[in-house]
Amino acid sequence: MKRDYQSQYYTVFTGASSSSTSAAGGSGVSDVRADVAGKSKMWVEGKQPEAGYDELLAGVGYEVKSSDMFDVAQKIEHLEGVLGNDDGLSQIASDSVHYNPSDLSSWLESMISELNPIVQQPVVIDDSFVNAADDLQAIAGNAIYPPEAKKQKTSPPSTAASSSTNPNAIVLVDSQENGIRLVHTLMACAEAVQKDEIQLAETLVKQAGILAASQAGAMRKVAAYFAEALARRIYRLYPSSQRDSPAFQDLLQMHFYETCPYLKFAHFTANQAILEAFSGKNKVHVIDFSMKQGMQWPALMQALALRPGGPPTFRLTGIGPPSGDNTDHLQEVGWKLAQLANTIHVEFEYRGYIAESLVDLEPAVLDLRDDEVVAVNSVFEMHQLLARPGAVEKVLSAVKDMKPEILTVVEQEANHNGPVFLERFTESLHYYSTLFDSLESSGGGGDGAVEGGGILPASAQDKIMSEVYLGKQICNVVACEGPDRVERHQTLTQWKTRFESGGFEAVHLGSNAYKQASMLLALFAGGDGYRVEENNGCLMLGWHTRPLITTSAWKIR
């Protein structure tokens, strides 16, 4: 029994593979002992190992009770996982006193309890999983996956976590630890993809899939989407370049609009900037690069209708991609808006322009009139232009030709356009994790007492559609390259540089926009998590400490 422990432990420390353990048997152990005994002569003054302590480790200066050996192994593995977490490292770097390191067991415990106080849970690791873990050991080290698991407490494998390929599924109950493992696996896979180590990447992406299934909530979904995107990249199953029909994209975006406040925030803050730019003017013209279903404009029309002095003549030009099917989608949206305008007595004129990409837009066809004031609006459209070199500059100069009073831009606040794949992957993993987290909190229960006008059908469908919407973005960032990769998000600072070199300067969004945005967010369930921040005159909406989208306004210098 004792010998088994020793050989097992020896394996963990020196990195020999599991198959060599059994072969080593007695002779291997005695060889090591001789070796260690030789070394221990260096510590001649050191104490003799007391009864009950492991002799091997005592020889190198650690006192570990044999009965504790298994626990120590587990804790080392755990510590390694925790150390991988950045927060852990910063805490270690701080001045903290740890107990006597020669008492290995309690030292580990003190380290772990400082870094990450969670309770050790029983873990079942399947044998077949371990055999396939050779590749993993190459990067993660043996501490992560101890070779033998027979001595551990077992619990029956849960059918929920079983994957179709592996009937003896892994039940990893300690989900926080596995969350860390999952992130590690995803990152390791991305690194392997970056280095073009396809075999390794394949193994890792499968691990990631299995680990993801053991998680719950937002983590599970994010991990699943990222794992899928990585798999697409590895197996070159790129999403078809023929994108989803605009109607389907619009539908997904509508659900996203309803579930969480990001789009509403975008619309309300942009509208406020446009409203202020239009104050006192009698003929106004809005050119919308992101027409979709036109959800932004009813609120603006209502505000114009109620402004002191009465509404101006409101002209709207909507720009959108071709519909695919034979319907003229842009025109239909225009009809509905016209109906609304008629209801609230605002003089309204509408024109729709179909353009495959914004680059194709010519200001001359827009029928710009001298006596009207122009505003240009773009919600989540600018970043797509970065897929084609020179496109942004061309569009910005076209915008300048339109002579707008104001240009409102709403973009994701993240850098998903770096040249290095691994950096993009890391950035987007953090970004979408935060986004999914916020979705998780905003999902309505549909159960129990409901606040306002009646019980509405559960918004589970909305939430799922929103997740699909975001999942498509994830897939695009991770799996696509070249002109297909259109989700090229950039941060405000980067956009600022571009706009300024394009001849624009920033316009500060006023306090009205800020107040309205704060109020809007307070209405949402989970409203405490959302934060509005003002950053150099631009407004950022974020979840807890992480800004997620930014509204900014620009005018010609």
Partner 1 sequence: MVHIHDHDAEPYRFSINDHLDLLIEVLKRLDGRSLGAAACVCRKWCAIARNDSLWEHLCFRHVSPPPVGVRPVVSALGGYRRLYMVCVRPVLSRLKRRRIGGESEVVRRVWSQHEVELSLSLFCVEYYERLLVGGGRVAGDSPASSSLKFLCMPVNV
* CB of residue 344 to partner 1, shortest distance in Å: 5
Comparing CB distances to partner 1, the nearer of 256 and 380 is: 256
Residues 24 and 7 sit within 8 Å (Cβ to Cβ): yes
C-alpha radius of gyration, the chain, whole number: 30
Which of 72, 301, 376, 392 is the binder for partner 1 (CB under 8 A)? 301
3-state secondary structure 411-448: EECCCCCCCCHHHHHHHHHHHHHHHHHHHHHHCCCCCC
Establish if 520 lies at the interface with partner 1 (CB under 8 A): yes
Q: Which of 481, 473, 486 is nearest to 236 (CA)?
A: 481
Strand runs labelled E in 78-154: 123-124
* CB of residue 65 to partner 1, shortest distance in Å: 48
Give the C-alpha separation, 215 to 238, whole Å. Answer: 26
Comparing CB distances to partner 1, the nearer of 226 and 265 is: 265
- How big is the site for partner 1, counted in residues (CB under 8 A)? 50
Segment 267 to 286, residues that bind partner 1, using CB under 8 A: 268
* CB of residue 445 to partner 1, shortest distance in Å: 6
Establish if 190 lies at the interface with partner 1 (CB under 8 A): no
Convert residues 313-332 into a mask of x (bound to partner 1 by CB under 8 A) and - (unbound): --------------------
Comparing CB distances to partner 1, the nearer of 117 and 452 is: 452
Segment 523 to 552, residues that bind partner 1, using CB under 8 A: 523-528
Strand runs labelled E in 240-297: 283-288
Establish if 119 lies at the interface with partner 1 (CB under 8 A): no
Establish if 454 lies at the interface with partner 1 (CB under 8 A): yes
* CB of residue 122 to partner 1, shortest distance in Å: 33
For the chain, give the number of residues.
557
As given in the structure block, the two tokens for residue 19 are 């198959």
**First vs last Cα of the chain: how many Å apart?**
81
Strand duo 530-535 + 504-507: pairing: unpaired
Establish if 468 lies at the interface with partner 1 (CB under 8 A): no
SS3 of residue 328 by DSSP:
coil
Measured torsion, CA atoms of residues 413, 417, 420, 422, in degrees rounded to the nearest 10: 50
Q: How many CA atoms lie less than 13 Å away from 436 in the CB half-sphere? A: 26
Segment 331 to 350, residues that bind partner 1, using CB under 8 A: 335-337, 339-340, 343-345
Comparing CB distances to partner 1, the nearer of 208 and 341 is: 341
- Residues contributing to the site for partner 1 (CB under 8 A): 257-259, 261, 268, 293-295, 298-299, 301-303, 305-306, 308, 335-337, 339-340, 343-345, 442, 444-446, 448-454, 456, 459, 462, 512, 515-516, 519-520, 522-528
